[in-house]
Amino acid sequence: MTAPAPAETPGALRIGNFSGFYGDRFDALREMLTGGDLDVLTGDYLAELTMLILGRDRLKAPSAGYARTFLRQLEDCLGLAHARGVRIVTNAGGLNPAGLAEAIRGLAKRLGVPVRVAHVEGDDLTAVHPGALAAHAYLGGFGIAACLRAGADIVVTGRVTDAALVTGPAAAHFGWGPTEYDRLAGAVVAGHVLECGTQATGGNYAFFREGDIRHPGFPLAEIRADGSSVIGKHPGTGGFVDTGTVTAQLLYETGGARYAGPDVTARLDTVRLTQDGPDRVRVDGVRGEAPPPELKVGVNRLGGFRNEVVFVLTGLDIEAKAELVRAQMEPVLGKVAEARWTLARTDRADAGSEEEASALLRLVVRDPDQRAVGRALSGAAIELALASYPGFHVLAPPGKGAPYGVFEAAYVPQGAVEHTAVLPDGSRVAVPPPSAARPLTALPEPELPAPLPAGRVRRAPLGLVAGARSGDKGGDANVGVWARSEDGWRWLAHELTVERFRQLIPEARDLPVTRHVLPNLRALNFVVEGVLGSGVASQHRFDPQAKALGEWLRARHLDIPEVLL
């Protein structure tokens, strides 16, 4: 008897990205559609700050709340995407995915392009968080998968995890079930690499001078049925893809080795990266575990009003000039809820320009009452113009005070949300929560490599031997640091302890700092709790999203073995 022929395994799924944030390159959608073959294009528009912005939009107009940029991009490219058979999956729906889906249908009708549009909802929990401007659960990819399996050409979501834009299409294409954790974890890793667009192709990269990133192309992933992938970009586009650019993006905005999501917890300590030719990096070996029993909820609130004024201090007696201004402003500052001074010594002795001879004294005030940080501050600052330190001037006069936001993370049981796929025909399909869950616990620190033998050292910047990338998660920041060689890793793993990190980054000295070790990536990931206050919208520090925290670390000097230099 002849054995039945084995079922055909679907080929690799080519998924590209055309947006990493709300405001990314407008022409990227057309560039990706015309640059090479693709099956799916994903657009990521949402971040913690974006949800606050969309929430304020919705206050002005209930029909708003989605990324309007996407609709304008689609007007230019909808026919092209349809002609090429490329499906589009995006979280541009923001706070109003149903509204954006309806707007796309109207656009398609006007353009005469027959596309099927679906959307995913159920993430909106604002009603159960009193006082919140927006409260949304991070959903997984199986609602997206249901929409694609029903024939959708365009799938619009609200707040899903960034990686879900990739796991959903992969699960639909390969028929993965919710317990195929290793495959799902592989797609999560690919999705995490793609989600920030050109950060995977040389953008924001520590060693950016190794390629031409004047106009980097957007990334794509060739995902296979086993969950492995190859990260690349369209031929002839700018930027570059190597194990370093992929490592940098893998470390971005992550914590420990267990990278939790609604569908699966991906083990970042199992990721293997291999250069697979020019601008191609193979990602395999990824293991997955059951997801946590709870979903993260991003809660955005209006925290009050803030204002700031920057005094320019030039020449001699910088400290004394700063002290004078503080004393003169003290009477009005006693009436505001919070006042914070920062003196940036950007001045240098015997400077060749006035700007190089100047330091910046920044005053930031916050209060629930806009009036307290408005005219009172403005008047007190401007009245000093002829009555304070010599050379008095400010970068710009203070305004009337602007609202600021506060972000906090909450958690709800996986089954507490009504994750729903609204299919192209309007029918609604409930997406069940995972059948199994595993509480998220930290992994013990793995065994470190043997230390580098003692030898001659030289005082030099850390960035000569290590790369870094940093980012924000609510009020916390992460700094991922990786070595470029095995010997560099043997030194870095022992040298860059939590204590050394605190010495190099004084802001972290009194804050909780956790170090996570990822030997496969030759990387350390530091999480600094509370360094960003109440999140990016609160504008707590000079670099409110900690985007340059890693570059500051790379610029700090240590005793580095000469063999590495």
Give the model confidence (pLDDT) of 372-425 as tens digits.
Answer: 999 888 889 999 999 999 999 999 888 888 899 999 999 999 999 999 999 999
Report the SS3 class of residue 550.
Answer: helix
Is the pLDDT at 70 greater than 90? The verdict is yes
Question: If residue 71 lies in a helix (H) or strand (E), which one and from where to where?
Answer: helix 68-84
In this structure, are residues 297 and 136 in contact, taking their beta carbons and an 8 Å threshold? yes
* 341 token code pair: 């001074």
Is the pLDDT at 553 greater than 70? The verdict is yes
Indicate the pLDDT class of residue 549, thresholds 50, 70 and 90. very high
Taking the chain, what is the end-to-end CA distance rounded to the nearest angstrom? Answer: 68
Q: How far is Cα 544 from Cα 533, in angstroms, rounded to an integer?
A: 9
Q: How far is Cα 49 from Cα 300, in angstroms, rounded to an integer?
A: 9
Q: How far is Cα 111 from Cα 488, in angstroms, rounded to an integer?
A: 57
The mean pLDDT value for 254-261 works out to 97
Is the pLDDT at 7 greater than 50? The verdict is no
Q: How far is Cα 314 from Cα 318, in angstroms, rounded to an integer?
A: 7
Give the model confidence (pLDDT) of 212-251 as tens digits.
Answer: 999 999 999 999 999 999 999 999 999 999 999 999 999 9
Mean pLDDT of the chain: 95
Give the model confidence (pLDDT) of 485-518 as tens digits.
Answer: 999 999 999 999 999 999 999 999 999 999 999 9
pTM: 0.95
pLDDT of 209 reads 96
Is the pLDDT at 10 greater than 80? The verdict is no
Distances (CA, A) of 545 to 4, 512, 541: 57, 18, 9
* 243 token code pair: 């194990």
**Helix crossing, 181-194 with 243-251: angle to 10°?**
100
pLDDT of 8 reads 52
Give the model confidence (pLDDT) of 140-162 as tens digits.
Answer: 999 999 999 999 999 999 999 99
Give the model confidence (pLDDT) of 274-308 as tens digits.
Answer: 999 999 999 999 999 999 999 999 999 999 999 99
Nearest to 282 by CA among 232, 225, 211: 232
pLDDT of 9 reads 58
Report the SS3 class of residue 490.
Answer: helix
Q: How far is Cα 16 from Cα 33, in angstroms, rounded to an integer?
A: 9
pLDDT of 253 reads 95
The mean pLDDT value for 323-336 works out to 94
Domains and CATH numbers, the chain: 13-298+411-430 (no CATH), 300-406 (3.30.70), 457-564 (no CATH)
Percentage with pLDDT > 90 across the chain: 91
The mean pLDDT value for 320-345 works out to 95
The mean pLDDT value for 319-341 works out to 95
pLDDT of 536 reads 83
* 43 token code pair: 């657009």
The mean pLDDT value for 452-469 works out to 97
Strand blocks (E) in 371-503: 393-394, 402-413, 420-422, 428-430, 457-461, 466-473, 476-483
pLDDT of 6 reads 40
pLDDT of 396 reads 87
Q: How far is Cα 125 from Cα 297, in angstroms, rounded to an integer?
A: 8
Report the SS3 class of residue 557.
Answer: strand
Q: How far is Cα 370 from Cα 82, in angstroms, rounded to an integer?
A: 49
Is the pLDDT at 3 greater than 70? The verdict is no
